[in-house]
Amino acid sequence: MQISVENVGKKFVREWIFRHASFELLSGQKYTFVGPNGSGKSTLLQLLTGMFPQSEGAIRYTDDNGNEIDTDDWYKHIVIAAPYMELIEEFTLREMVEFHTRFKPLKNKISSGEFEDIIQLSHASNKLIRHFSSGMKQRLKLGLAFMSDVPVIFLDEPTTNLDAQGFNWYLDNVTLHTENQLLLLGSNVSQEYEFCKNIISVSAFK
């Protein structure tokens, strides 16, 4: 899977968040977008996911066979974990996992129970998500991102709300379960992306 960004810009009202962004994101590679708070990291990631349209330029998605993917079908190929992504809090953990897998199957056809073991929340299988701590919710989001069988993973501020144990769990799993996927990460915390060699500064697009 490849993403081609060509002279992309995003404007809110009269203010340009960034302009003239051009780069290639290649299949199986890991990229981190960095920049000061308010520089547009999350906005750029959201453009790449297709959540929002760009104000100028073009974003093209191509599969490994060179076929261009229609923007309307892009969501089928990606998974996202971010603080602004909501979980269905009326579901139990098991119900949330089973609902998710109706749209994005888990890798190696692992069971819901095996998934809960991976995220170290098997004890909360029947607990309503509304009663989860913020750290438990974040681990669930990350687990669904790591284990979904899709070619592209988006992680925005991935260790938000994680304690030290959760942070170490993230570091142990982020490379273990994403080896052959295109991973796009937005972060200002160097420890979150210490494994990543491809760094893109959003500040360069001002």
The predicted structure's pLDDT at residue 81 = 98
**C-alpha–C-alpha distance, residues 3 and 172, integer Å:** 27
CA distance 94 to 125: 5
pLDDT (0 to 100) of residue 121: 98
As a whole number of angstroms, the distance between CA 35 and CA 107 comes to 32
- Phi/psi of residue 11, nearest 5 degrees: -125, 135
Query: Three-state DSSP class for 153?
Result: strand
Do residues 65 and 2 make contact, with C-beta atoms less than 8 angstroms apart? no
* Cβ(138)–Cβ(166) below 8 Å: yes
Burial class of residue 167, CB neighbours in 10 A (0-12, 13-18, 19+): middle
pLDDT of residue 38: 84
Task: Give the pLDDT score at 150.
Answer: 97
> Could you tell me if 52 and 10 are in contact, meaning their C-beta atoms sit under 8 angstroms apart?
yes
CA distance 170 to 71: 30
pLDDT of amino acid 206: 84
Going 108 to 155 to 59 to 199, the CA torsion angle's sign is negative
Pairwise CA distance, residues 105 & 87, whole Å = 17
* pLDDT tens for the 206 residues of the chain, in order: 999 999 999 999 999 999 999 999 999 999 999 998 888 999 999 999 999 999 999 999 999 999 999 989 999 999 999 999 999 999 999 999 999 999 999 999 999 999 999 999 999 999 999 999 999 999 999 999 999 999 999 999 999 999 999 999 999 999 999 999 999 999 999 999 999 999 999 999 98
Which domains are seen in the chain, by residue range?
2-205 (3.40.50.300)
